[in-house]
Structure formats: structure tokens, C-alpha cells
């Protein structure tokens, strides 16, 4: 974290050097002293969304010749624009990773237009043709990992009742809930997932209440989609329930209760990006992938996971790794009995229809509004 | 550490006493500059000690704070951008304080102002930009004004404590905002980030010519000066201060205290509502949950540090803007956590509040603070 003391003169020279650098416009390859800026919306040790990105940043720090600067708890306002500019002007950053979903529009787009020679990579998969070419937005099909978690959960539950603590009923979250439930039903066709929406990304008190309430209703395996799963994981473990993690590996928080989890694999993706830039390759502006592309991964199975569950989960995982395995295969009906994907229709992972998901599949107890 | 602090406060406080003639002529003004200045210096010394505990050099800390906040033209723009909304939200606390009311619900007025301004813009899809902008200003002020007037009305007609009611109204405002943004006002294209439709690039108010700071700063400066004139140089302001000093006396001399309360609350809320309008029209371009970035709460701190003086709000807002602008640099260069900026704000707050006891008592300083 500590980059040592930089002399004052060096600081001032940095600014001048940057101006020269941009004037000659050398964005082709990374120079030996490339600075990369990471911006997080929460704490980088939140055992969640931000920590996943910080692990990616940590992987970059191990590469020679790179300097990584980080700033946490930057709100999705013009504060992030100023943080980006501060990293550019005061630290000489030439590659920026504003990692929160809400940083993209209008903030990062504005900065990418203002600094056309620098490179911006955003997490969220939001890039469209209208956006600047030096901006990119990547995302992972983490529902694949949730599907695997679901399989493990389906084998591990005794009551057949699973619980899901979710932030908001938006497509990305609904897709995770649905994939988790469909996975669980592969293992146990009678399993149900009770979902509770807390209303926002970081609501520790409500997350704890939701966890307790789910367990009170007989749920014995829980997972979540909030920014910091720590609250859910620790509370559930304390109450004797088992958990599937999210964002990063939370097994250190609950070694006995942790079954598996859906994790981001930014520590594989970010070095890949940097190597692509260094080699003069262009990173596709819209970059997405799943388990096969090493953008997401599944946590190592906990000791409580049965042999049968491991085998089934590994089997499905290998299908994701080798084929275009579809989670959302018709017929699928929502939990109100309406057919949402007709029989015979396979919605592959790249299907744009899945990005608009506004339903909960059969087996989920809960409502989107 | 404490001895250092006491020394600096002492030294600062003793200085004017050495020149009694000068002090007598400008006593109050000197006190207003010297005491907060000494409190600030004391807070910085203590914070330096705090940072030293983490093994960082306090001199580095001061240098980076200066450099990140005021050291370059970019840093100044960064600081002023962050100060702009704080001036307006601070007025939301400073104005009612003249009447002896403690209003801490500026955040709610900001959100309602932003919603009202966005609604006004969306209701006028084909009007010329200037008309739309004027409508947004009016709607923002009215929305925010009525919101705080609600707290004033509850106090006047129902005897409800305005501090509690204005704070609770923040949560109601946030719930209204979330409901509208995720429901009736939602742009159907805002899939994973529920937002209203955009107000349109033509209707944005842009930046002040020659600098990268939006017009909100000018709005803030004008509002602060106008508030100062209103409070200290008009009969209305005099009446307000009389009522603030002794409400019974004010009633006996025939002042309409109820009208004063409602009017001042409207103006206060109007200032915060204007801040919300500016966040929409200069930064976000639409309304979503990002607007609840805490400017309303930081404004309370600014108002108290400025001792509720509308003119003093300006330098204090710039100071806090500078602290938050340099906070990023502290994270990046010294590896301090984000919370360190909050620690500094807290220390300053305590010092300034404690230094309140010094006004008019210079010469009895020893052993105090």
C-alpha cells in the first residue's frame, strides 16, 4: 500500500512529464513506470465486491514495472471524476479502473472523452457504440458460478429451504437468484429459495435481519447478492446454517459453514488486460465471459459438501468450461405460473434477453416488486 | 500530543491579548478568525499524532493535504467542486439556527429538490434550455423549501422537535426518491441502475468559464452572501435573531414568530433544494440513488464549524472541500484508510465546538480546551 516517499520535486515533474507524454500520444505500449489507478465505491477489505477488485489490483502489483494507486469509498458523484483526474494529474495514471457500476455514466464517460489518450476500464458491461473508444466495460457471467453454488446448496439442505439475501430486484440480481434456484433444483427438484430484498447494496442491519428471518423460517443454506456478504455469512454461521459466498471467498469468516461460492476472478483478468495493452492489442470495449473465460470462478468446496454434490457440481462445471452450456433452457415458468422461456428455446449466456430479466423462476418465494 | 495542542491554542489565544488596544477595536473579528484558526491548528496537530501512530510522517501528511487541496490549480478546482454543494446545504442548517432551531435534514431537502427539478425538466421536453433551467431552479428551491417548512410547521403548530423531525424527513425523502426512481419515474432503459430519464445535455448548466468547476459554486456564493445580508442587514433578519435570542420577548414586541419560522425554514430548505437541482443539472443529468451522497450531512458540519454565520460558511465549505479533495491523495500516497478523513473531520468538529467556550473569555484560557 505504501509506495514509499516520493520527493516533492518528482511530484511536480510528474505533472510536466504527463503533459509531454499525452502531447506525443503514446498509448500503444505500457512504459516501465506505468501507473494504474483503482477506484472502489466501498472499503477494499469488505469481503465482497470491492475486495474482489482489490485482489485484482494486488495481482497487478506483483507484475514488474507497474505502480498501482488505489482509492476507496469514492461516491458515484463528481467525486469520482475528480478522483480520476487527481490520479491522472497528480499520480500520472494512464490506465484507470473505476470499478463501481454507477461510475460509468456520466462520470467515466465524461473523463474518457476529456482524456482521449488514456485508457479506462469499467466493471459492469455497459459500453455501447455511442461511448468513447478509449473506454471499456467488462463483466462476468457470475450466474454460472451461482448455478454451481445452487447445485451444492441443493444437496446440502436438509429442509429443502434455501435463502437469498438480495439488494435490489434488478436484472443482474434476479439472474443470480434464478440461476441459484435452477441449480438447486437439479439436485433437489423440491427445493425452494426464499428471497429477501434489502433495498440497497450495503445495508448491514437489514442484511442481518433478513438472514435471521430466513433462518427462523427453516432455511438452512443461504447465499446473497449484496456488496458485502460478510454480515450474512457470519450471522448465518453463528445460527448454525450453511452458506454459499459471493464476490470473493468468505471461507475465512466461516470455515465450517462455508460450502462454496460464486467469485469474481479479477486477479486473472486484470493482468491479462495489462498484458494485452503492453503487447499492443486492443481490449474489446465490451468484454464479457464466464467460467470458461476465467472471469468468474467457484470457491473450493467446504468440508461439509458431500461426494455426490461435488461430483454433480464438477460435472456441470466442466460443461461450462468446454461447451456453451445454457442455464436458462425452456420451458421455464416464473413463480406466478407464467411461461417466461418457451419450451425448445435455449437462452445462452450471451442472449441479450437475459439482460432484461424481470421475473423470478418457479421455486423462488418472493416478488420483484 | 495534548501538550502540543494546548500550546498552540494557548499561543494563538494569548497573541491578541498582548495588544489590548488593537483587540478592543477589532476584538470580535479577531476572535472569529483566531479561535477557529487555533482550533483548526490544534486539530491538525492531534491528527498528525494520530497518523504518526500508524508510522507515517506527519510532515508528509501536511504536505499531501496541502498539495491535494490547494497545491495546484487542479487541486483548487477539485476543492471548489467539492465545496460547491456544501455551501448550499450548510445554509440549510445555518439559517434556521438564527431562530434558535437546529435543522439537520438538509439531505432530505436536497433529494426532494433534485426530484422536483428533474420532474420540471422532464415536464418541459421541448422548451428552450434557459426556460428549463429556470424552471428547475424554481422547482428545486420550492421542493426543498417546502420540505424543511414541513419540519418548521411541525414545530410551530404541533410542538414537534425540529431536529428529530427534519432528520426523520431525510429517510422519508430517500424512500420517496427510491420509490419514484424504481417505479413511476423509472427510465425503462436503466436496467441495473434504476434512474429517471435524462434531462438532456442541452439543459445541463455546465462549468464556469475558465475553470473546471460547475456553476453550483456561484449559486452557493450568491446564496451565502444574500443570506448574510438578509440576516445581518435587514429588519427581517433582525427580527429572526431577536426571536432566536428570546422567543417570548419577540412575541411580546409583536413579532410574528410563526411566520418567521416558516419563512426561514423555506429559505433554508430552498438552499438545500437548490443544491439538489445543481447536482442534477451540473453533474448527474438525472435523478437516481447516487444523489444521496451525504452532502446534506456534511453541510451540518460546515454550518456548525462556521458558527452558523452564512458568510463564514464559504471558507469552511472550501476547507472541508479541500480535506475531502486531499483525502484521496492521503489514501494513495500514505496508504491511509478512507476513514482517516472522517477522523480528521471529527477532531476538527470537537475542537471547534470546544473552542466555543473561549469567545469573550480570552485571558482565562489556561487549562481550558
User: Looking at beta carbons, which pairs linking A23-29 to residues 24 or more positions away fall under 8 Å?
Assistant: A25/A117, A27/A94, A27/A117, A27/A118, A27/A119, A27/A134, A28/A280, A29/A277, A29/A278, A29/A279, A29/A280
Whether chain B has a CB inside 8 Å of the CB on A345: the answer is no
Residue A103 CA to residue A41 CA, distance in Å, equals 9
Contacts of B82 in chain A (CB under 8 A): 79, 82
Whether chain B has a CB inside 8 Å of the CB on A79: the answer is yes
pLDDT at A16 (0 to 100):
43
- Per the CB < 8 Å rule, is A8 touching B192? no
pLDDT band of residue A275 (cuts 50, 70, 90) is very high
- Per the CB < 8 Å rule, is B279 touching A83? no
Contacts of A79 in chain B (CB under 8 A): 82, 293, 324
- Per the CB < 8 Å rule, is B332 touching A89? no
DSSP letter at A361 equals: B
Q: Is the pTM of this model over 0.80?
A: yes
Residue B225 CA to residue B230 CA, distance in Å, equals 9
Contacts of A89 in chain B (CB under 8 A): 72, 74
Residue among A44, A73, A123, A172 with most chain B CBs within 10 A, to mutate: A73
Specify burial of residue A83 (Cβ count, 10 A radius: 0-12, 13-18, 19+): buried
Q: Which of B67, B110, B70 shows the shortest CA–CA distance to B88?
A: B110
Of the candidate ranges A223-227, A237-241, B347-351, the one whose mean pLDDT is the lowest:
B347-351
* Cell representation of residue B50: 494520530
- Per the CB < 8 Å rule, is B192 touching A72? no
Cβ within 8 Å of A, B 28-67: 57, 60, 63, 67
pLDDT at A20 (0 to 100):
39
Q: Would you say residue A7 has pLDDT above 70?
A: no
Whether chain B has a CB inside 8 Å of the CB on A294: the answer is no
Cβ within 8 Å of A, B 182-221: 182-183, 191-194, 214
CB contact at 8 A, A267 and A60:
no
Residue A94 CA to residue B329 CA, distance in Å, equals 17
Among the partner-chain residues A8, A73, A171, the one whose CB lies closest to the CB of B191 is: A171
Element (H, E) at A320: helix A307-322
What ipTM, to 2 d.p.?
Answer: 0.85
* Domain positions in chain B: 86-325
pLDDT at A32 (0 to 100):
58
Domains of chain A: 8-140 (3.40.50.2300), 143-263+302-365 (3.40.50.2300)
Mean pLDDT of A292-298: 95
Please tell me the distance in Å from A369's CA to the nearest CA on chain B: 9
* Cell representation of residue B273: 433544494
Among the partner-chain residues A1, A11, A170, the one whose CB lies closest to the CB of B194 is: A170
Contacts of B195 in chain A (CB under 8 A): none
Task: Read off the pLDDT of residues B299-308 as tens digits, 9 standing for 90 and up.
Answer: 999 999 898 9
- Mean pLDDT over the full length of chain A: 90
Task: Read off the pLDDT of residues A189-215 as tens digits, 9 standing for 90 and up.
Answer: 999 999 999 998 999 999 999 999 999
Q: B208-233: b or e for each residue (b if 16 or more CB lie within 10 Å)?
A: beeebbbbbbebbbebbeebbebbee
Q: Which of A107, A84, A127 shows the shortest CA–CA distance to B279?
A: A107
Task: Read off the pLDDT of residues B224-237 as tens digits, 9 standing for 90 and up.
Answer: 999 999 999 999 99
- Per the CB < 8 Å rule, is B192 touching A170? yes
pLDDT band of residue A30 (cuts 50, 70, 90) is low
pLDDT at A19 (0 to 100):
41
- Per the CB < 8 Å rule, is A199 touching B178? yes
Provide CB contacts within 8 A for B199, sequence distance 6+. Answer: B118, B121, B122, B132, B136, B280, B281, B285, B286
pLDDT at A11 (0 to 100):
44
Please tell me the distance in Å from A331's CA to the nearest CA on chain B: 24
Q: Would you say residue A31 has pLDDT above 60?
A: no
Q: Would you say residue A165 has pLDDT above 90?
A: yes
Residues of chain B scoring pLDDT < 70:
1-27, 362-369
Please tell me the distance in Å from A315's CA to the nearest CA on chain B: 32
Mean pLDDT of A33-40: 92
Residue A306 CA to residue B277 CA, distance in Å, equals 57
Q: Would you say residue A21 has pLDDT above 70?
A: no
Contacts of B78 in chain A (CB under 8 A): 82, 85-86
Residue A97 CA to residue A1 CA, distance in Å, equals 17
- Per the CB < 8 Å rule, is A200 touching B289? yes
Amino acid at each position: 500500500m505504501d509506495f514509499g516517499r516520493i520527493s516533492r520535486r518528482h511530484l511536480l515533474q510528474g505533472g510536466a512529464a504527463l503533459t509531454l507524454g499525452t502531447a506525443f500520444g503514446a498509448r500503444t505500449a505500457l512504459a516501465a513506470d506505468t501507473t494504474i489507478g483503482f477506484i472502489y465505491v466501498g472499503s477494499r477489505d469488505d469481503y465482497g465486491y470491492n475486495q474482489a477488485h482489490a485482489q485484482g489490483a494486488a495481482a497487478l502489483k506483483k507484475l514488474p514495472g507497474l505502480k498501482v494507486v488505489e482509492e476507496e469509498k469514492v461516491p458515484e458523484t463528481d467525486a469520482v471524476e475528480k478522483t480520476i483526474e487527481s490520479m491522472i494529474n497528480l499520480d500520472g495514471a494512464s490506465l484507470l479502473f473505476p470499478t463501481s457500476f454507477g461510475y460509468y455514466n456520466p462520470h467515466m464517460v465524461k473523463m474518457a472523452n476529456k482524456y482521449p489518450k488514456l485508457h479506462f476500464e469499467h466493471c459492469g458491461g455497459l459500453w455501447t457504440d455511442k461511448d468513447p473508444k478509449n473506454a471499456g466495460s467488462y463483466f462476468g457471467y457470475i450466474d454460472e458460478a451461482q448455478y454451481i453454488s445452487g447445485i451444492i446448496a441443493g444437496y446440502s439442505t436438509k429442509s429443502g429451504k434455501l435463502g437469498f439475501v438480495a439488494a435490489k430486484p434488478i436484472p443482474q440480481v434476479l439472474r443470480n437468484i434464478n440461476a441459484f434456484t435452477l441449480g438447486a433444483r437439479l439436485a433437489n427438484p423440491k427445493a425452494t429459495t426464499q428471497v429477501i430484498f434489502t433495498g440497497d447494496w450495503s445495508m448491514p442491519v437489514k442484511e442481518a435481519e433478513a438472514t435471521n428471518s430466513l433462518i427462523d423460517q427453516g432455511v438452512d443454506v443461504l447465499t446473497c447478492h449484496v456488496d458485502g456478504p460478510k454480515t450474512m455469512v457470519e450471522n448465518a454461521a453463528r445460527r448454525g446454517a450453511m452458506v454459499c459466498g459471493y464476490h470473493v471467498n468468505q471461507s475465512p469468516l466461516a470455515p465450517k459453514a462455508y460450502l462454496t461460492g460464486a467469485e469474481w476472478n479479477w486477479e486473472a483478468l486484470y493482468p491479462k488486460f495489462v498484458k494485452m495493452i503492453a503487447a499492443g492489442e486492443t481490449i474489446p470495449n465490451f468484454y464479457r465471459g464466464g467460467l470458461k473465460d476465467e472471469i468468474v470462478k467457484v470457491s473450493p468446496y467446504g468440508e461439509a459438501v458431500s461426494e455426490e454434490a461435488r461430483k454433480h457440481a464438477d460435472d456441470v462445471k466442466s460443461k461450462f468450461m468446454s461447451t456453451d452450456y445454457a442455464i436458462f433452457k425452456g420451458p421455464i415458468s416464473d413463480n406466478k405460473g407464467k411461461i417466461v422461456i418457451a419450451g425448445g428455446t435455449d437462452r445462452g449466456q450471451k442472449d441479450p434477453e437475459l439482460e432484461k430479466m424481470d421475473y423470478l423462476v418457479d421455486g423462488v418465494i418472493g416478488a420483484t416488486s | 500530543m495534548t501538550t502540543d495542542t494546548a500550546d498552540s491554542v494557548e499561543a494563538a489565544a494569548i497573541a491578541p491579548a498582548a495588544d489590548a488596544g488593537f483587540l478592543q477595536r477589532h476584538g470580535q473579528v479577531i476572535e472569529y478568525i483566531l479561535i477557529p484558526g487555533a482550533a483548526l491548528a490544534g486539530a491538525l496537530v492531534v491528527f498528525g499524532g494520530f497518523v504518526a501512530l500508524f508510522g507515517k510522517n506527519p510532515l508528509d501528511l501536511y504536505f499531501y493535504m496541502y498539495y491535494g487541496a490547494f497545491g495546484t490549480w487542479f487541486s483548487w478546482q477539485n476543492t471548489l467542486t467539492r465545496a460547491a454543494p456544501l455551501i448550499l446545504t450548510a445554509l440549510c442548517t445555518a439559517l434556521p439556527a438564527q431562530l434558535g432551531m437546529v435543522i439537520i435534514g438538509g439531505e432530505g431537502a436536497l433529494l426532494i429538490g433534485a426530484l422536483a427539478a428533474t420532474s420540471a425538466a422532464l415536464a418541459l421536453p421541448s422548451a428552450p434550455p434557459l426556460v428549463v433551467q429556470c424552471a428547475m431552479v424554481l422547482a428545486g428551491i420550492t421542493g426543498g423549501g417546502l420540505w424543511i417548512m414541513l419540519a418548521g410547521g411541525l414545530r410551530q403548530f404541533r410542538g414537534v422537535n425540529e431536529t428529530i423531525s427534519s432528520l426523520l424527513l431525510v429517510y422519508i425523502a430517500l424512500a420517496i426518491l427510491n420509490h419514484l426512481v424504481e417505479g413511476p419515474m423509472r427510465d425503462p432503459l436503466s436496467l441495473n441502475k434504476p434512474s429517471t430519464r435524462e434531462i438532456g445535455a442541452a439543459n445541463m448548466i455546465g462549468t464556469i468559464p475558465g475553470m473546471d468547476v460547475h456553476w453550483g459554486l456561484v449559486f452557493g456564493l450568491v446564496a451565502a452572501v444574500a443570506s448574510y445580508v438578509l440576516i445581518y442587514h435587514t429588519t427581517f433578519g433582525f427580527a429572526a435573531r431577536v426571536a432566536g435570542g428570546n422567543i417570548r420577548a419577540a412575541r411580546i414586541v409583536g413579532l410574528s414568530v410563526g411566520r418567521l419560522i416558516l419563512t426561514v425554514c423555506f429559505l433554508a430548505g430552498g438552499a438545500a433544494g437548490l443544491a439538489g437541482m445543481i447536482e442534477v443539472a451540473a453533474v448527474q443529468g438525472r435523478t437516481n440513488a447516487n444523489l444521496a451522497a451525504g452532502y446534506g450531512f456534511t453541510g451540518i458540519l460546515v454550518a456548525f464549524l462556521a458558527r452558523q454565520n452564512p458568510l463564514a460558511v464559504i471558507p469552511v465549505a472550501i476547507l472541508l472541500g479541500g480535506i475531502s479533495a486531499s483525502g484521496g491523495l492521503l489514501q494513495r500516497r500514505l496508504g491511509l484508510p478512507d476513514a482517516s478523513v472522517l477522523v480528521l473531520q471529527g477532531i476538527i468538529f470537537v475542537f471547534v465546538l470546544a473552542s466555543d467556550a473561549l469567545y469573550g473569555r480570552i485571558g482565562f484560557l489556561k487549562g481550558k480546551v
